[in-house]
Amino acid sequence: MTAKPNTAVNSKEQIKNSEMTTTAGPSTSATILTPNVVQVNPRLKNNAILAGIKSVRWMFNDIVPDFILGQTTCALYMTLKHHTQYPHYIYDRMQQVGKSYQLQVLLVLVDVVDPNASLKELAKVSIMADFTLMCCWSPEEASRMIEHYKLFEKKSPAMIMEKQLANINGTEDKHKCVIEALSSVKSINKTDSLSLISNFESFEKIVKSDAETLGLCPGLGPLKAEKLYQAFHKPFIRSD
């Protein structure tokens, strides 16, 4: 009986030994004409992840990665269940992308009971292929990650650093008070508070925004936005 080749091991060796010089990337027309739009590979048509992408515009385009999130950022997307059934798939996709982008994300939907072994394998392969492994546990969470990569494409790292944000224009005490006030709302943490301040610029604008507008803030989402909105607009005393 002839032994079957180990596809996963062979694929790992291909990645390790390959120079990975594939010239994959966004087409010139897409980069020039639609720089603010997420480019999506047509292979994801009807995928649940697309239904949740609402905060940024996206369009199908003939690209090598699954998503192009900027001139220097791309992403591959797959479910862990798919990986267990077709272990060679992601190795081939990584080789096709090569090292054409400064930031290359492997976004994995964890949808199996025991993901540890598969995730360890993917973590090693991601390092070898110069990818950043990101995990999510629902299509909605995957959609949020895609949105955040695009929304923060041109943002400075300082906007998510509390110390630097607090010291802008000498407003340390002011920001500290706003952060404490927002964080007092159930489910709103300091990161959410910083994101709200960065996007709305003032506590007044946050309070006057509706739940839908608040939900567009990166990292917040519709559930937290609704709770925050209700905290601002529900009466403190129940009427009998």
What pLDDT, on a 0 to 100 scale, did the predictor assign at position 159?
Answer: 56
Sequence spans of domains, the chain: 7-151, 157-233
Prediction pTM value? 0.58
Tell me whether the CATH fold assigned to 7-151 matches the one assigned to 157-233. Answer: no
Q: Are 108 and 81 in contact (CB under 8 A)?
A: no
What is the average pLDDT value for the chain, to the nearest integer? Answer: 79
Q: What is the rounded average pLDDT of the residues 190-219? A: 82
More confident residue, 186 or 165: 186
More confident residue, 198 or 92: 92
Separation of alpha carbons 83 and 79, rounded Å: 6
pLDDT at residue 218 is higher than 60: yes
Separation of alpha carbons 218 and 221, rounded Å: 7
CATH T-level fold of 157-233? DNA polymerase; domain 1 (1.10.150)
pLDDT at residue 146 is higher than 50: yes
C-beta atoms surrounding 189 within 10 Å: 14
More confident residue, 218 or 160: 218
What pLDDT, on a 0 to 100 scale, did the predictor assign at position 77?
Answer: 98
pLDDT at residue 41 is higher than 90: yes
Separation of alpha carbons 35 and 115, rounded Å: 36
Q: What is the rounded average pLDDT of the residues 1-7? A: 46
What pLDDT, on a 0 to 100 scale, did the predictor assign at position 239?
Answer: 55
Least confident of 18-22, 107-111, 125-129, 212-216: 18-22
More confident residue, 233 or 162: 233
More confident residue, 1 or 202: 202
* DSSP β-ladder status, 103-109 and 38-40: unpaired
For residue 153, which of 90, 101, 96, 78 has the smallest C-alpha distance? Answer: 101
Q: How far lies 229's CA from each of 40, 175, 178, 211, 223, in Å?
A: 33, 20, 15, 6, 10
pLDDT in tens, 80-110: 999 999 999 999 999 999 999 999 999 999 9
Domain 7-151 has CATH 3.30.300.30: no
**Would you place residue 154 in the very low, low, confident or very high pLDDT band (cuts 50, 70, 90)?**
confident
Backbone angles phi, psi at 236, to 5 degrees: -70, -30
pLDDT in tens, 49-67: 999 999 899 999 999 999 9
